Structure 1
Amino acid sequence: MENKRLHIAVLVWTNFCRFLLALVFTFSGFVKANDPLGTVYKITDYLEAWGIVDLVPNALVYLASMLMGMVEFTLGIYLLFGIRSRIASSLVLLLMSVMTPLTLWLAIENPISDCGCFGDAIVLTNWETFGKNIVLLLAAISVFKWRKQIFQLVTSKVDWLVALYSTVFIVFYTFFCISKLPVFDFRPYHVGADIRKGMEIPEGKKPTTYETTFIYAKDGVEKEFTIDNFPSSDTTWVFVDSRTRVKEKGYEPPIHDFSIVSQEDGTDLTDVILDDENYTFLLVSPRLSTADDSNIDLINEVYDYSLEHGYRFLCVTASSDEDIAMWQEYTGAEYPFALMDDITLKTMIRSNPGLMLLKKGIVINKWSDGDLPDEYQLNASLENLPIGQLNRKTVIHKIVEVVAWFVAPLLLLTLSDLAWLNYRNRKMKQKEKGKEEKAN
């Protein structure tokens, strides 16, 4: 009786740990696959903290970003369905054995603000992340030790199908989010966001004070300027870079660093754009030197369309004057440029370049570089086009769609495979029966 109770306790504990790990790994892998470029930025933060960012090729960083999401999601699904339990439990234990001491180092040294394990969906402090990983490490040890106690949610006849389809699904989803934009946008600049409201401070709260400085060069000497002492009258100064730093910590609204300055004369355009009741196109490019230039014709067409219909078009970037001039020369860009903080631009849209449509400070639409609107979509004024209207699709609607894309094909393939197995078994039985009749 005692052994039976112990067996039941181990069974319950092991599968509780298994489902906990499955939930965390599936979610973590999915949010990374949903925002591969965000994971790239986070990996870059790690490399900068270690001082090796210049030694690692960009292609390797992108590959690592995609593989992290794919591997975590696949392992989570394996644990969820109880398939490939040996390899899944071994790899999960290996990952947690690496990540736990890494997050301890993050908690102690604090080189970056958060580990990025759940992307922008759930932001944890470094100490919270370390505590979470201690729990997951204990769960991973338990699952690895008693992996034979894991029960499957599918039969051995179709477990291979679940394993294969899970990998195929997350690979396609990752590339979809790279070519388009993240399906789930957890950042404060998502479609439907009111930028002005996102900058508001609740009554009674003391705001965090920020200062944006602009680095200009003249006669080989670099100097930092603020909005108050901007060298707008002296055109011999050449823009180099911009930085936003915290002066005094306080309440931090979701949007705290949205500041647009004209590259031509240093005029602050923030309020002008946020208060504009007409449409505004923002071509967002953190760094023009690394921007994708394969769709420059479409960008120029959108600019021509905006001129024709009286809409504002502005390229916002953190690039130097030299890089802006090179971009203009190479692409034939005639649109005006403005300066913003590099991190803000990366947060606004996961594409370089990307296109945002604003109206009264509200994000109406967003496009990646590979999904820009063309002349067939821009065949009338925005007031009369679907792309000029706010998409009211809710998060719940998106979740249902994604789950349906995962579950429906998997269910169809599983039923088809079971039907084929049933048909094959009947045929084999008929052959055996025929052989027996001939023998008699």
Structure 2
Amino acid sequence: MQEFFEVGNLHLLNDYALYFAILMNVFEVLAGVAIIIGWQIKIFSWLLLALIIFFTFLTGYALFSGKIKACGCFGDCLPITPAQSFGKDLFLMVLILILLFFQSSIRSIFPNRLALLLLSFTVFISFFIQWYVLRHLPFIDCLPYKAGNNIVEQMKMPVGATTDSFSIQFFYKKNGQQLQFDQEHFPADFDSTYE
């Protein structure tokens, strides 16, 4: 979420990115369980459609703007490109539209009270798991610097990888003449006469 806030110049939302992410995760799990058990299918199928339209917009923006190079839909465990993420969202949108079309034939598999209990438990577990992994290590850590990895080994450049490179160019005037040089060729006589 924070990367989208940065790209969209919504910097005032940066402090709330974690909260948005947690709420989105809880809602996705809640909606998924509600759909699976068939509870309040009309409400949740429309909410899922709104959610997938939102995600399709985000992944479409990531794809067509080129400003976001990797989608964190599944974090670092399953890195996917913006094109793959956009395709996934289009596929899910088709499935949700089918769900909307057939919503009248879907019935809840649990009585209302039991369904509410199950959904309440789902919300609790979703919040608890996110709280736990934010306070401790994730259950499955896919990051390169996870516990047990040799950080020195992980920092080595992979064979055949292109190394980072940069050059700083300085532009100055001296005696009316425009000069350009880099940090390797800094003039020995550099003083306040350079503008």
TM-score normalised to structure 1 length? 0.36
Partner of 1:299: none
**Cα deviation, residue 125, structure 1:** 0.6
Residues 81 and 153 of structure 1 are in contact (CA less than 8 Å); yes or no, is this contact kept in structure 2?
Answer: yes
**Cα deviation, residue 96, structure 1:** 1.1
Partners of 2:116 and 2:10 lie apart in 1 by 40
**Cα deviation, residue 194, structure 1:** 2.9
Q: In structure 2, which of residues 35, 41, 46 is the aligned counterpart of residue 90 of structure 1?
A: 46
Amino acid paired to 1:71: F
Query: Residues 370-422 of structure 1, C-alpha deviation per residue, up to 9 Å, x if partnerless?
Result: xxxxxxxxxxxxxxxxxxxxxxxxxxxxxxxxxxxxxxxxxxxxxxxxxxxxx
Amino acid paired to 2:35: L
Partners of 1:78 and 1:174 lie apart in 2 by 20
2:74 maps to 1:118: yes
Q: In structure 1, which of residues 39, 56, 64 is the aligned counterpart of residue 13 of structure 2?
A: 56
Amino acid paired to 2:3: D
3-state DSSP class of the match of 1:56? helix
Percentage identity across aligned positions? Answer: 23
2:87 maps to 1:106: no
Shift of the 212–79 alpha-carbon distance from structure 1 to 2, 3 Å rule, reads: farther
3-state DSSP class of the match of 1:185? coil
3-state DSSP class of the match of 2:164? strand
Partner of 2:191: none
Partner of 2:3: 45
More strand by share: 1
Partners of 1:45 and 1:212 lie apart in 2 by 24
Partners of 1:81 and 1:69 lie apart in 2 by 19
Alignment of 1:282-301 (within 5 A): none
Q: CA RMSD in A?
A: 2.7
Residues 70 and 79 of structure 2 are in contact (CA less than 8 Å); yes or no, is this contact kept in structure 1?
Answer: yes
**Cα deviation, residue 98, structure 1:** 2.0
Partners of 1:197 and 1:186 lie apart in 2 by 16
**Which protein is bigger by CA-based radius of gyration?**
1
Residues 41 and 106 of structure 2 are in contact (CA less than 8 Å); yes or no, is this contact kept in structure 1?
Answer: yes
Amino acid paired to 2:103: R
Partners of 1:211 and 1:154 lie apart in 2 by 60
Amino acid paired to 1:165: F
Q: Which runs of 5+ in 2 are unaligned?
A: 168-181, 185-195
Partner of 1:141: 97
3-state DSSP class of the match of 1:141? helix
**Cα deviation, residue 190, structure 1:** 1.4
Higher relative contact order (CA 8 A, sep 6+): 2
2:176 maps to 1:207: no
**Cα deviation, residue 81, structure 1:** 2.4
Partner of 1:175: 131
Partner of 2:27: 71
Partners of 1:147 and 1:74 lie apart in 2 by 18
**Cα deviation, residue 151, structure 1:** 4.5
Q: Which runs of 5+ in 1 are unaligned?
A: 1-42, 214-224, 229-440
**Cα deviation, residue 49, structure 1:** 1.0
3-state DSSP class of the match of 1:210? coil
Shift of the 212–178 alpha-carbon distance from structure 1 to 2, 3 Å rule, reads: farther
Amino acid paired to 1:210: D
**Cα deviation, residue 159, structure 1:** 1.1
Partners of 1:142 and 1:111 lie apart in 2 by 32
**Cα deviation, residue 156, structure 1:** 4.1
